[in-house]
Structure 1
Amino acid sequence: MAVSVLSGCSAAGSAEGGPESGLDDPAKKEIAMQLVSSAENSSLDWKAQYKYIEDIGDGRGYTAGIIGFCSGTGDMLKVVERYAAARPGNPLERFLPALRAVRGSDAHDGLGRPFTEAWAEAAADPAFRSAQDAERDRSYFDPAVARAEADGLGTLGQFIYYDAYVMHGYGDTDGTVGFRTIRREALAAAAPPARGGDEAAYLNAFLDARVAAIRKEPSHSDTSRIETAQRVFVREGRLGLETPLRWRVYGDGYRIDAR
């Protein structure tokens, strides 16, 4: 059993007291990235994932980078386009036509080992890491936090929305259920705080809908990132994502200690 520990990650709104901060607070965002990495990469060291790339057999082609950008869904293409704009002539730029061609499929045509090696090597370039950060924020983090704030959710709820965006995307696609549908099903079962509902009850309804969505995807059938992580935080009342945090994913244990 792996147990990962990071100390010194507490922030305003932690168990030590102080006003709650949202997920866009730098310390809270750091925690969010560690939580996502524990599920996506079995590690809290999310910054080591800029170079990560492999085909995990989920029908989305290559999965890569800090939140699992995919060649089949198009967000990997957006990262490389951003990088090309910031660093013209970089080694990944020549793969743009191939990335456009494989979008919507799991094909590797025009990519293969030369592409995966170029991706890993590009991770040493701050401009490439910034391109990943920017696409994460534009497509996933910022819209998730904004939607959660509109629903009256605190920092934990904002993270729960963000993790759903990362794993499922916003809209439904062939064989997958997206964030939009998950939220709609949650709203049918419970009211969020913005509509006068109990926050914990609504978050559990959202997690219920998410578990159902995960079980519809054979490649993502494991629900431990919900049942032994996010559900635990709701049960413990850590609605501000207060440290210390203890959770399990895929049977491995993790913790982030208070300062």
Structure 2
Amino acid sequence: MLGLTLVAVPATAVAASASEPAGPETAAAAPAPAAVGLDDPAKKEIAMKIVSSAENSSLDWKAQYKYIEDIGDGRGYTAGIIGFCSGTHDMLELVELYTDRKPGNVLAKYLPALREVDGSDSHAGLDPNYTKDWVKAAQDSEFKKAQNDERDRVYFNPAVKRGKSDGIGVLGQFIYYDAIVMHGDGGDSTSFSNIRKRALAKAKPPAQGGNEKTYLNAFLDARVWAMKQEEAHEDTSRVDTAQRVFVKKNNFNLNTPLDWKVYGDSFHID
């Protein structure tokens, strides 16, 4: 991208000088660069690290492909880079995608059981070897790619798209992303869409003429309410001592360096 930009600049200057000297008016006519979003690779890397700090108490999100455990939240097994759950359908869809791409993989034999336990916290048909086989699968680059792709399809891309349409910046898009990761976007009262509806009842997003900071605080208020509806999520520090910190500092572009705390642990990104 940088190389292309450097080549394009002289060409533009030559074209301008062929007819008239390049002046302030000519320069002003150049299109403004598009605003950076959370889908910018560097910003996305930051987002993955912050989510990992909350989900896995580590900034090393790429070490989480192999992660799997039942954390006792009623969602069965939680696993992988974004907390795919055996009880909330996204783990089933992930293993189905992996199996479509690589039939006969080590997890394919668990598909009938995953379909049976979907919507519950049951391990029926998964124990005793599912967790071991998940770790084996995580050594496969195809499984890692499947996790990345499902993360983007189900969580990341929808959050960024909705955030951009609401006129919020990188930080706001991240706040949306983290909410979708934890709450999903189903029809229940604590889903992302309903959290957003609660926020909209209190403040307008920038796309509707509202103040970004006011709107993000309204969204985080609604997010905290949703978290407190579940005992497993009643610790709201990933909002209070992380996202609120960035909002308070008006760091709407999520620029580094960043310092925050989650569940009492301190984290830093240069």
Aligned to 1:58: 73
**Mapped partners of 1:71, 1:19: distance in 2:** 39
Contact 1:228-1:248 within 8 A present in 2 as well: yes
Instruction: Please give the root-mean-square deviation of Cα atoms over the aligned residues, in Å.
Output: 1.1
Count of aligned residue pairs for this structure pair: 238
What displacement does 1:21 show?
1.2
Counterpart code for 2:219:
F
What displacement does 1:85 show?
1.1
Counterpart code for 2:245:
V
Greater relative contact order, per chain length (Cα 8 Å cut-off, separation 6+): 1
Aligned to 2:265: 252
Q: SS where residue 113 of structure 1 aligns?
A: coil
Q: Alignment partner for residue 222 of structure 1, among 229, 235, 241? A: 235
Aligned to 1:234: 247
Q: SS where residue 254 of structure 1 aligns?
A: strand
The reply on whether 1:102 has 2:101 as its aligned counterpart is no
- Percent identity reads 65
Aligned residue runs from structure 1 range 105-254, under 5 A = 105-173=120-188, 177-254=190-267
**Mapped partners of 1:251, 1:113: distance in 2:** 33
Contact 1:20-1:240 within 8 A present in 2 as well: no
What displacement does 1:19 show?
7.5
Instruction: List, as ranges, runs of 4+ consecutive aligned residues in structure 1 with deviation greater than 2 Å.
Output: none
Aligned to 1:40: 55
Contact 1:190-1:197 within 8 A present in 2 as well: yes
* C-alpha distance 172-153 of structure 1, shift in aligned 2 (>3 A): same
**Higher helix proportion, which one?**
2
What displacement does 1:20 show?
4.6
Q: Which runs of 5+ in 2 are unaligned?
A: 1-32
Counterpart code for 2:243:
Q
**Mapped partners of 1:64, 1:235: distance in 2:** 32
Q: Which runs of 5+ in 1 are unaligned?
A: 1-17
Counterpart code for 1:212:
W
**Mapped partners of 1:172, 1:85: distance in 2:** 28
**Mapped partners of 2:89, 2:83: distance in 1:** 11
Q: SS where residue 250 of structure 2 aligns?
A: coil
Q: SS where residue 201 of structure 2 aligns?
A: helix
Contact 1:53-1:116 within 8 A present in 2 as well: yes
Counterpart code for 2:38:
L
What displacement does 1:112 show?
1.3
What displacement does 1:171 show?
2.0
Deviations 1:138-164 (A, max 9, x none): 100001110011100100000000000
**Mapped partners of 1:138, 1:25: distance in 2:** 16
Q: Computing the radius of gyration over CA atoms, which structure comes out larger, 1 or 2? A: 2
Q: SS where residue 248 of structure 1 aligns?
A: strand
**Mapped partners of 1:172, 1:39: distance in 2:** 25
**Mapped partners of 2:36, 2:49: distance in 1:** 17
**Mapped partners of 2:119, 2:226: distance in 1:** 20
